[in-house]
Structure 1
Amino acid sequence: MTAMSSPRKIVLITGCSAGGLGAALVEAFLMQNYHVFATLRNPNKIPPHFTTLSNVTIITLDVLSSSSIASAVEVVTKETGSRLDVLVNNSGVMSIMPGLDASIKEGKKLFDVNFWAVLAMIQAFAPLLVEARGCVVNNASVAGVMPVYFESVYNASKAALIVGSETWRLELALLGVRTLTVVTGSVRSQVFKNMTPANVPENSYYAKIGKDIDDLGDGRLAEHAISAEAWATKVVVAVEKNRAGKVWFGGAASIINWGTWLLPGWLLDKLLTATVPWVKSIQR
């Protein structure tokens, strides 16, 4: 049965590599009887069993390539009769580096993936979403609402995504399309394994704690994380319940939501510093 002839709802998810949040989302949407277009840049990283499922269509998609996005739109349009019920913008990259040592060039690339590619996907699939009176899901992060040490570029990209997503929510609602901004907390996934090591420069002001900064890439700050499967289930439930706006899913997400509203700035700073107490060793 093809997606076009199936009564199932249609969802397209970006970033569906094995072990990641995208792959977990595929499984969660399948549980709700969706036909899933699972996309990723490197098809060799797709979970092998996805290739055997009739209700999963795998598309090679580079979200930074306009031609690749256009090709994906063409495939979905052809197979569904110009309909897409849900677009999940899950692709993203993480970065750890003190702001003073961050590469502006690499930072712009990170923004391209975490922000501009999301808008590019929404623009490209808008006709299909409007036709279906569908839903856009944008995967943001709690890092976008709090100044996590040594993640300034990543934090800023997710902050931009949160504000952008909430603005698009208002604009798309005029066309009958819902938007969910998922502010994601700690979730167990491959994100840290796929991240480029920080490698703080030897001449950095932060060289003395460079090894500690590099070690943040091992995921130690995600000790209270929930499973990718639990997170994905929450996202799909929110979609099925016709929710819109910001939702907070993942380890400590709800606490951070309330904490950023209720706690004074000096106390938030203290709590953030407590997660990396070794920074005090270079305090001047």
Structure 2
Amino acid sequence: MAINRKTCLVTGCSSGGVGSALAEAFKDKGYHVFATARSPSKVPQTLHTASNVTVLALDVTSSESIAAAAEAVQKQTGGKLDVLINNAGLGLNMPGLDTPMDEARKLFDLNFFGALEMIQAFGPMLVTAKGCIVNNSSVGGLQPFPFSSMYNATKAALIIAGEAWRLEMAPLGVRVITLLAGGITTNFLANLQTPAYPEKSYYLCIKDMIEEQPAQVPFGVRPEVFAHDVLRQVEKGTTGKFWVGGGVCIARFALWLFPQSALDRISLYQKPFTKKLAEEHKKTA
């Protein structure tokens, strides 16, 4: 028998992250939630035991895994999905000159192409339900941060593509929301990938500075607060870009008001590497 309540699928629902908080918020609102993760064992037990949650294995970088999840959801819902939340993603902390190309491609496969393939696979179900797609992007997609070029590029791609998908899918009755996410107190910084540096990297002299991260996310809000803000926007019929999370009011104002040179100074204040790198380069030049 098909599920007769609203449905929501969330990718990247490992414990302690934004995905599990989103799944909890939609569950509590009465949706039937498909909480997905590459490793279902990492999904919180509260989601495993909830009567209106189905936990599914889903790797958004695998076409086979996406197809299997789509088939499972279609069988349970009768071919409809009200909300798709593309949340799965990772960061990468490394200079562009040193980033292995296979790692860069893997990041795009996860953060961008994974979202696109999910939309394609679940598109017919979303159209049938006149549903809503939520893509979790970042303010980092609007402002360059040193040593986050690949991550920021994936988020910038998701922003511009999400806005195009919004226009393309509106005539089909599907809304697209692009989250410009600010600070959230998750394990994101602790989970940043940092591949090995080449032996002749120009940046070895500041490697410690690059890899150093703040003890906590600046302006971070709790994932639960973030998730309920997103839920409200889905419920009220929002479409397009939505700024959400810690510090977004400041970021939005700064991006509107300040010239790029001032924004660069703000970024470099957080990673004041320029002088040391220039000095070390002169010694070896």
Q: More deviation in 193-202 or 247-256?
A: 193-202
The counterpart of 1:263, out of the listed 251, 258, 264, is 258
In the alignment, the residues of structure 1 paired with residue 263 and residue 194 of structure 2 have an alpha-carbon distance, to the nearest angstrom, of 27
1:160-175 correspondence runs (5 A): 160-175=157-172
How far apart are residue 161 of structure 1 and its match?
A: 0.6
Name the TM-score, length of structure 2 as normaliser.
0.94
Q: Specify the alignment match of 1:222 in structure 2.
A: 217
One-letter amino acid matched to 2:89: G
User: Does residue 1:104 correspond to 2:98, yes or no?
Assistant: no
In the alignment, the residues of structure 2 paired with residue 266 and residue 157 of structure 1 have an alpha-carbon distance, to the nearest angstrom, of 23
The counterpart of 2:82, out of the listed 79, 85, 104, is 85
Relative distance call for 1:258 and 1:154 in structure 2 (3 A) is same
1:189-208 correspondence runs (5 A): 189-208=186-205
How far apart are residue 202 of structure 1 and its match?
A: 4.7
Name the TM-score, length of structure 1 as normaliser.
0.94
Q: Specify the alignment match of 2:111 in structure 1.
A: 114
Q: State the Cα deviation string for residues 144-200 of structure 1 (Å, max 9, x = none).
A: 000011101111111011001110010010111000000111111122233323554
User: Does residue 1:275 correspond to 2:261, yes or no?
Assistant: no
Q: Specify the alignment match of 1:67 in structure 2.
A: 64
Contact kept? 1:83, 1:131, Cα under 8 Å: yes
Relative distance call for 1:129 and 1:196 in structure 2 (3 A) is same
Q: Specify the alignment match of 1:235 in structure 2.
A: 230
Residue segments in structure 1 that go unaligned for 5+ positions in a row: none
How far apart are residue 223 of structure 1 and its match?
A: 2.4
In the alignment, the residues of structure 2 paired with residue 113 and residue 253 of structure 1 have an alpha-carbon distance, to the nearest angstrom, of 24
Q: Specify the alignment match of 2:132 in structure 1.
A: 135
How far apart are residue 50 of structure 1 and its match?
A: 1.4
Number of residues of Structure 1 aligned to a counterpart in Structure 2: 279
In the alignment, the residues of structure 1 paired with residue 108 and residue 251 of structure 2 have an alpha-carbon distance, to the nearest angstrom, of 23
Q: State the Cα deviation string for residues 79-137 of structure 1 (Å, max 9, x = none).
A: 11111000000001100001111111110110011111101000000110000000000
User: Does residue 1:54 correspond to 2:20, yes or no?
Assistant: no
In the alignment, the residues of structure 2 paired with residue 145 and residue 85 of structure 1 have an alpha-carbon distance, to the nearest angstrom, of 29
User: Does residue 1:25 correspond to 2:22, yes or no?
Assistant: yes
In the alignment, the residues of structure 1 paired with residue 71 and residue 196 of structure 2 have an alpha-carbon distance, to the nearest angstrom, of 41
Contact kept? 1:199, 1:210, Cα under 8 Å: no
The counterpart of 1:15, out of the listed 6, 12, 24, is 12
Residue segments in structure 2 that go unaligned for 5+ positions in a row: 280-285
Q: Which runs of 4+ in 1 moved over 3 A?
A: 197-202
Contact kept? 2:176, 2:239, Cα under 8 Å: yes
Q: Specify the alignment match of 2:41 in structure 1.
A: 44
